[in-house]
Structure 1
């Protein structure tokens, strides 16, 4: 018969190995800004989307949600790869928007910000924290929040 201390050590070692295996498997399932293809795959679940590059050669996803064009811009990239974060954005051509309307949105919106561009057209953006990765379900929820913000902005501010 084994002494208790040996059994305890063996059990603890088994638990440690199991925890390492589970955390490694979970880490492999996380999506971050270094994975434009994985983000694209999730975005396609919400409408059309394609992976392109921006003028700096960094990845960029262009898509449509409920008929509205949007983009996912990748930032902190090194030579078009290993990006650190993303930002969703869309813009409309609607001259005559007032800062009062934009500021009203910004006072009440939790997950997006709006501003007027150089031509006084409204722009809506949402920064996304992908630091250390997120699950696919979390990213799906984030894109759903983006779709909700875009639709609410269209209905509450643009109409």
Structure 2
């Protein structure tokens, strides 16, 4: 009779390693753009320093994916989802703090003009599965919808 740990070892060995095509990291902006396009428009471009950046829309909301930890504008390590709204200063720090206290995903703050910004950092150093990043994109979509509905409807 096999011991429980032997059964686990056999099952893990039978499953085999993840294939390289299932792993996504920030060194592949085009793959991230493809995944983001599943939630709306997504165009790969560059930021002011030449690092990759993806601009697009999710459910009508303009947003961007900014790449960080890049070496010579490639081989990036992390990304950040971000969206900002021009609102003529009608929101308060208390509105942002209330969101930050209750929301699981996405941090909110007021920019230098008093306009709300929602961001979500994603560590992709060493990679994640495509399914994981797709799920993270979906959490970003949910955070955008909730932020618009709970904060920006004031």
Partner of 2:68: 75
Normalized per residue, the structure richer in helix is 1
Q: Which 4+ runs in 1 deviate beyond 4 A?
A: none
Partner of 2:144: 150
Partner of 2:33: 40
Deviations 1:18-74 (A, max 9, x none): x6xx43x52342000001010001001111100000000000000100000000000
Kept in 1, the 8 Å contact 2:77–2:123? The answer is no
What count of residue pairs does the alignment treat as equivalent?
141
The TM-score, its normalising length taken from structure 1, stands at: 0.84
| Distance (Å, rounded) in 1 between the aligned partners of 2:21 and 2:81 | 24
Partner of 1:3: none
| 1:44-55 mapped onto 2 (5 Å cutoff) | 44-55=37-48
| Distance (Å, rounded) in 2 between the aligned partners of 1:135 and 1:67 | 27
| 1:94-105 mapped onto 2 (5 Å cutoff) | 94=87, 95-105=89-99
Secondary structure at the residue paired with 2:37? helix
Secondary structure at the residue paired with 1:93? coil
1:132 Cα offset (Å): 1.6
| Distance (Å, rounded) in 2 between the aligned partners of 1:45 and 1:100 | 34
Secondary structure at the residue paired with 1:78? coil
| Distance (Å, rounded) in 1 between the aligned partners of 2:147 and 2:38 | 21
| 1:1-159 mapped onto 2 (5 Å cutoff) | 22-23=16-17, 25-94=18-87, 95-159=89-153
- Higher CA-based Rg: 1
| Distance (Å, rounded) in 2 between the aligned partners of 1:29 and 1:108 | 33
- Unaligned regions of 5+ residues in structure 1, if any? 1-14
